[in-house]
Amino acid sequence: MSFELPPLADLLAHSYVVRLPMRVKFRGITQREALLIEGPEGWGEFSAFVEYAPAEASRWLSAGIEAAYQPFPEPLRTTIPVNATLPAVAASEVGAVLEKYDAPHTIKIKVAEQGQGLEQDLARVAEARRLYPQAALRVDANMGWDIGQAVHALKALSEFDLQYAEQPVPGITGLAEVREQLRTAGIDLKIAADEAVRKHTDPLEVSRLGAADLMVIKAQPLGGIQAVLDIAQQAELDVVVSSALDTSVGLSQAAALASALPALPYACGLSTGTLFADDVCTEPLLATAGYLPVQRIDADPRKLKQLRPEQQRVDWWLRRVEQCYEQLVKA
């Protein structure tokens, strides 16, 4: 970590737990819990998914503390191009979900959802293509296929002119294999690494092995803005900044990260505020015509009160901060 940890008591005294309702089911969840930290520099977010153990979640805490206690980096741009994110909904719902985004130029479509088949993916992507003929489309399988399934599915999906496919299969060598097989089959489709970057002990291995064409980087899972700027600087691949389904506070951290990257060749996955039915501030961080403003977002005390879950969940999150803090002290 590139900064000093504040005392634990200080952190706990300035922590607020929220639960946001989602408009559309995403990653199997309809409500998103997060802990927000009010620090001397502003607000920070700690919202590791609830199933993550402290060893992994502690990197997310590090990011939240950094945002609250350290200034944001010097921005190189004032807005960030972003993609609309389309969850694995039925084709009949695609129009209604995408309508909530203001004139998207790029759309990321979830595919390979558990319990669904390729037919549903094809129908969803076809509908997005029909409604947005000019948009750049990309798919994200979240490791949902094996190698054979991925090659088969991506051959079929590439008919809709895709910008890239994100993490079609688990692992780093898996990505390299899919990429190679597609290339051999004469299919020109870029492969992006996501889980192979953020869940791996060495986020740069994908780059070193040349296993993908680009890598997705997320501020919270990788330990914060400075940590990710360092990773991006060492990476030999293009990077795309993406959200972890953060509240507007976390999105503002991710936008600050994106604003400080020397090169930003792809739209970032930071339009996820649109998936929430409520947020922690009075004016949520949303994109206009596919561009997100770079700005600090402060949580609103009234929103924090409204969105506070039952005491048991608050206690759970505070305990989690203690456990993750312990990990950070040890590291």
Ligand X SMILES: O=C(O)CCC(=O)c1ccccc1C(=O)O
Binding flag, residue 83, ligand X (CB under 6 A): yes
315 is in an annotated binding site: no
Binding flag, residue 15, ligand X (CB under 6 A): no
Binding flag, residue 45, Mg ion (CB under 5 A): no
300 is in an annotated binding site: no
Binding flag, residue 142, ligand X (CB under 6 A): yes
The one among 108, 179, 303, 320 contacting ligand X by CB under 6 A: 108
Residue ranges in 164-223 that form contacts with Mg ion under rule CB under 5 A:
166, 194
Residue nearest to Mg ion according to CB distances in the complex: 194
Residue ranges in 156-185 that form contacts with ligand X under rule CB under 6 A:
none
Residue ranges in 191-250 that form contacts with ligand X under rule CB under 6 A:
194, 242-245
**By CB under 6 A, how many residues form the interface with ligand X?**
13
φ, ψ (nearest 5 deg) of residue 25 = -65, 135
Binding flag, residue 254, ligand X (CB under 6 A): no
Instruction: Give every CB contact of residue 270 below 8 A, 6+ residues apart in sequence.
Output: 80, 82, 241, 242, 243, 251, 254, 255, 258, 287, 292
283 is in an annotated binding site: no
Say which DSSP state 288 is in: B
Binding flag, residue 272, ligand X (CB under 6 A): yes
Could you confirm whether 218 is annotated as catalytic?
Answer: yes
Identity of the residue, 62 or 85, whose beta carbon is nearer to ligand X in the bound complex? 85
CB of 141 to Mg ion, least distance (A): 8
Nearest partner of 200 among 214, 179, 217, 213, judged by Cα: 217
CB of 44 to Mg ion, least distance (A): 23
Q: What does the alpha-carbon distance between residue 213 and residue 10 come to, in Å, rounded to a whole number?
A: 43
Task: State the angle between helix axes of 225-234 and 54-69 in degrees (0 to 180), rounded to the nearest 10.
Answer: 110
Binding flag, residue 100, ligand X (CB under 6 A): no
Q: What does the alpha-carbon distance between residue 331 and residue 323 come to, in Å, rounded to a whole number?
A: 13
List, as one string, the DSSP characters of 236-280. Answer: SSEEEEB-SS--HHHHHHHHHHHHH-S---S-BB--GGGGBS--S
Could you confirm whether 110 is annotated as catalytic?
Answer: yes
Binding flag, residue 27, ligand X (CB under 6 A): yes
> Does residue 113 sit in helix, strand or coil?
coil
Nearest partner of 193 among 262, 239, 250, 251, judged by Cα: 239
Catalytic residues: 110, 218
Binding-site positions: 140, 166, 194
* Residues at the interface with Mg ion (CB under 5 A): 140, 166, 194
* Residues at the interface with ligand X (CB under 6 A): 27, 83, 85, 108, 140, 142, 194, 242-245, 269, 272
